[in-house]
Amino acid sequence: MEQQDTNFKARSEALREQLIAWRRDFHQHPELGFQEHRSAGVIADHLRGLGYRVQTGVATTGVVGLLEGQQPGPVVMLRFDMDALPVAEANEVPYASRNAEVMHACGHDAHMAMGMGVAALMVSYRDRMKGTLKLVFQPGEEGMNGAEVMVREGVLENPRPDVVLAAHVWNEKPIGTVDVLPAAVMAAADKWTCTVRGKGGHGAAPHQTVDPIVAAAQIVTALQTVVSRNVSPLETAVLTVGTIHGGNAFNVIPAQVDLTGTVRTYNPRVQQTVWQRMRAVMENGAAACGAEVELEITPLTPAVVNDAHVSAVVRAAAEAVVGAENVSADSRTMGSEDAAFFLNEVPGCYFFLGSANAARGLNAPHHNPYFDIDEDVLPLGVAVFMHALAHQQFPF
């Protein structure tokens, strides 16, 4: 039996119809962050039926399933996110969202289905499994930091994982490819708000005012020098102004302009540099106009930094499933991911499963109302996770 039943690709492939059914069921019933009650129920029932020890209600709707092996060994945690987005689905498919204005437009439906598939397969290796498998189904990934809430509620204890793995279906890459980068893959994201205060007055008498619009305009322009002139060309950073609001009449100089934006970095030292320089540019730009600024920077999510050793394990797993020629290491993005809250605590790997199929029109970007995936990614993803788990928990 040993030879046959560790052919994880074949075993995952045998689950294909079930994986697709699960994914389509989740797709039809999308739920926003921290409201994933139905999804959590489906997952918890499935895990309990398989004999997992199940904890529900973690960070409101999160589900944790534990499978203990017969022998001591590492605790491996797999993370699958559950939430959908406030997007109205434009796809006309039989499994389209039945929840108006809410859609699995990022692919977390596929993540949940893969997690259920891994759960089902792992049970059959329990007798020779070492250590503990910890399956974590996380609410509120989309800008809500559900992972941080789960960490606060103790998801990284009892038992504490030795390794964390997480994956994202990825329409930037074709089906049948996997991307594993042994370095920072997703950026730290900060939000900032800046208030430029001047003195309002008549649009025809600017000399009697301190014009915050002129000051804000100079600040926006000067901010463009922060990354280009202060960050090493060998490092990476983004400083974006996302909103600018001021004034409400054509002939009135307002008293205040409000700006908001985001900073994205990989390296905490670069992050500090950007913060310091943007503050200086804002304060000095405003001072030159006689105005004042108030800047507030809120760090939202740290960078996702993959551990080199764990990444090597995942890379080998991916090569076993899709072939070395289909495994790349270049999917860095300046987007952010709250999986960082897990990977900051525990060595891990966050990797990408190519899910686009341009020939079939399945290549809309994530968060787009036409987003859909090639469902071949479901058995492939399960097989990659199984290989990575086998490497750590039941060497064969």
Beta strands in the chain (DSSP E): 53-58, 62-68, 71-81, 130-138, 163-174, 178-179, 184-186, 188-197, 201-202, 237-246, 252-253, 256-265, 292-301, 304-305, 327-328, 348-356
C-beta of 104 vs 315, nearer to Zn ion: 104
3 state SS of 262: strand
Query: Which residues of this protein are in contact with Zn ion, per CB under 5 A?
Result: 106
C-beta of 62 vs 254, nearer to Zn ion: 62
| Nearest residue relative to Zn ion (C-beta) | 106
Residues 6+ apart with CB under 8 A from 391: 313, 316, 317
Q: Which residues share a beta bridge with 78? A: 135, 165
3 state SS of 130: strand
The distance from CA 239 to its chain's CA centroid, rounded to whole angstroms, is 20
Report, in Å, the least distance between residue 158 CB and Zn ion.
27
Report, in Å, the least distance between residue 307 CB and Zn ion.
21
Q: 139: cis peptide before it, omega within 30°?
A: no
Report, in Å, the least distance between residue 355 CB and Zn ion.
11
Report, in Å, the least distance between residue 357 CB and Zn ion.
19
Residue among 233, 236, 241 nearest 271 (CA): 236
C-beta of 106 vs 362, nearer to Zn ion: 106
DSSP string covering 179-210:
E--SSEEE-EEEEEEEEEE-B-EETT-GGGSB
C-beta of 85 vs 216, nearer to Zn ion: 85
Q: Which residues share a beta bridge with 298? A: 191
Q: Catalogue the active-site residues.
A: 83, 141
The pair of structure tokens assigned to 146 is 């559900």
Query: How large is the C-alpha radius of gyration of the chain?
Result: 24
Report, in Å, the least distance between residue 274 CB and Zn ion.
24
C-beta of 103 vs 317, nearer to Zn ion: 103
Residue 163, φ and ψ in degrees, nearest 5: -145, 145
Report, in Å, the least distance between residue 83 CB and Zn ion.
8
C-beta of 116 vs 282, nearer to Zn ion: 116
Residue among 165, 184, 188 nearest 353 (CA): 165
